[in-house]
Amino acid sequence: MHELSELPQLLTALPTSVVELGKLFDEAGYEISLVGGPVRDLFLGRISPDLDFTTNARPDDILRVIEGWADATWDVGREFGTIAFRRGKDQFEVTTYRADAYDGDSRKPIVAFGDRLEDDLVRRDFTMNAMALRLPALELVDPYGGLKDVRASRVMTPGTPEVSFTDDPLRMMRAARFTSQLGVDLAPEVEQAMTDMADQINRISRERVRDEIIKTIVGDYPRKGVDVLVRSGLADHVLPEVSALQLETDEHHRHKDVYQHSLQVLEQAADLESDAEGPVPGPDFVLRFAALMHDVGKPATRKFESTGAVSFRHHDMVGAKLTKKRMRELRFDNETTKDVARLVELHMRFYGYGDAGWTDSAVRRYVNDAGPLLERLHRLTRSDVTTRNRRKAERLAFAYDDLEQRIAALREQEELDAVRPDLDGKQIMEILGIKPGPEVGQAYKFLLEHRLDNGPVSPEEAAELLNTWWSERS
C-alpha cells in the first residue's frame, strides 16, 4: 500500500504514451483522465494490464483527436461511448463521461453522456474505482474517498449502496469479485444492501452473472468471494446448490460441515495448481469450480442410518447432474460444463484404494475415465482431504502417492494416455469380413474392455480374441 506522497514515483510505472495522450486531448480542448482500476492499482503496488480513460469528448471527437497518433482503432462499444485503440504495444480504451442506469425492468443499461468528471465518477461501482488522474497534469481526483477505502481494504460505493445497486444490480456480484481478487472486505452498509437487494440480481442476464462468477472463482482469495455470495444471499439466486451446502446443524457431529469443507477444498485446490509450465496452470476455473461443487449432491442424498451414521450415497452422481444443470442455466459453454461435471462425478472414485488396493485393470480404467482431466482429478482428490486427523490424512496422501506411482509405471509400459484397442476399425472389418455398422462398434468396445482389463496384446492375439468373440456372439 502506497501513500499519496509517493504518487510521483508510482507514475513512473505508467507508459510514457499516457502523458502523450493527455497532451493530445488537452491541446484539442478536451478533458481526459486515467480512471478506475489502473489508478487504484497504483496505490496497491500492482501494474494494471488495462489503461482506461474518461473524457468529455464524444466518440467522434475521440477518433478525430487520436487520428494519426494511434496505430489502430477498433469498435468495442461506440454506442456506449467507448473507443479502443493501440499505440505501439500499449492498448487504450477511452470512454465519454457517462451515467449507466437500469430502467427497473430491462437487463440492458440506458446510457446518457455527461460533461463533468465528478458526475461520471459518482456513477462508478466503488470508491476505489472512482478515483481519476487528470492528464496531462497528473492530478489525483478523489471526491468520494477512494484512497481512504483502498488503505482500509474496504469496498464502499460512491453514493449510497442502495442507489448504486438499483442502478446496476451486477455491482453486487462485482463486490464479491473484489473481495476475491483483492482480499478486501465489504463495508457493513454495502453487505447489508446486498443482503436486502439480493433478488435484484435476477434483472441481470445469466451471461453477465456467469462472467462475474468466473472472475470470483479465479481470484487470489476465492473462498472469501464465494462466502460473500452465500452470506449476502446472492448465491441463493445464482448458485443455490452452494447455499444448500449449509446443512442444518447436526448436534451429534456425525458429519462435517459440508459448506466449510467445500470452501476449504476450493482453497486447497487453488494451492495445488501448477505454474504456467506445469500440467494445471493456475488460476484454473475448471478445477476450482469442480472443487466448490464437488459435494452439491450431499443435501439431496443425506440419510441418517439406523447405526447412527450419516450417509450420502451416490452424491457424486447426483452432484454431477446438479452441476451440469446449473452451468447450463448460467450459459457456460458445453466443454467447460462437461469437464466440471465429469470431475464432480469422478471425485469419489479413488476412495477405497488405500484399503483394498486396485488391480492394474482398475488403474487403467481410472486413467481412461479421467481422460484429459487426469491431472485435475489428481489435484481435486488430494484437495478433498480436510480431516483434522493427521494419521488419516497421511494415510490418504500415501495411498494417492502410490496410485500416482502406479499410473506412471503403467503409462511408461503401455502408453496409458492413449489407450486404444489392439486393432482399429479397419482391421476389425477385414478380420470379420463385415461392413461399417453397429457390429464394428461392438467389436471395438469388446477389444477396448479386454485392453483395459488385461493390458496390450499382439495383433495376432487380438485377432484370435476377436474371432472367438464373434463366433460366440453369432
Using H for helix, E for strand and C for coil, what is the string for 83-135? EEEEECCEEEEEEECEEEECCCCCCCCEEEECCCHHHHHHCCCCHHHCCEEEE
Q: Are residues 363 and 454 in the same domain?
A: no
Of 402, 418, 434, the residue that ends a domain is 418
Location of C-alpha cell 494451492: 271
pTM score: 0.81
Q: Are residues 368 and 448 in the same domain?
A: no
> Do 453 and 362 touch, CB atoms closer than 8 A?
no
> What was the pLDDT predicted at 63?
94
> Do 182 and 44 touch, CB atoms closer than 8 A?
yes
Q: Are residues 434 and 450 in the same domain?
A: yes
Residue 398 lies in a domain: yes
Q: What is the mean pLDDT of residues 331-357?
A: 88
Query: Residue 347 belongs to a domain with what CATH number?
Result: 1.10.3210
Residue 378 lies in a domain: yes
Please report, to the nearest 10 degrees, the dihedral formed by the alpha carbons of residues 319, 321, 325, 328 taken in order.
100
Q: What percent of the chain has pLDDT over 70?
A: 90
Residue 62, pLDDT > 80, answer yes
Residue, of 102 and 92, whose pLDDT is higher: 92
Q: What is the pLDDT of residues 125-166, one digit of tens each?
A: 999 999 999 999 889 999 999 999 999 999 999 989 999 999
Residue 202 lies in a domain: no
Residue 161 lies in a domain: no
Residue 116, pLDDT > 50, answer yes
Q: What percent of the chain has pLDDT over 90?
A: 55
Q: Are residues 21 and 94 in the same domain?
A: yes
Q: Are residues 372 and 467 in the same domain?
A: no
DSSP 417: G
Q: What range does the domain containing 454 cover?
A: 425-473
What amino acid occupies position 325? K
In SS3 terms, 330-371 reads as CCCCHHHHHHHHHHHHHCCCCCCHHHHCCCHHHHHHHHHHHH
Q: Are residues 385 and 347 in the same domain?
A: yes
Residue 190 lies in a domain: no
Query: Residue 73 belongs to a domain with what CATH number?
Result: 3.30.460.10
> What was the pLDDT predicted at 157?
96
Instruction: Work out the pLDDT band at 2, boundaries 50, 70, 90.
Output: very low
Of 152, 187, 213, the residue that ends a domain is 152
Instruction: Work out the pLDDT band at 374, boundaries 50, 70, 90.
Output: very high
Q: Are residues 449 and 412 in the same domain?
A: no
Q: Are residues 342 and 431 in the same domain?
A: no
Count: domains in the chain? 3
Mean pLDDT (the chain, rounded): 88
Q: Are residues 430 and 407 in the same domain?
A: no
Residue, of 7 and 240, whose pLDDT is higher: 240
Q: Are residues 283 and 381 in the same domain?
A: yes
Q: Are residues 295 and 334 in the same domain?
A: yes
Q: Are residues 86 and 110 in the same domain?
A: yes
Residue 162 lies in a domain: no
DSSP 218: T
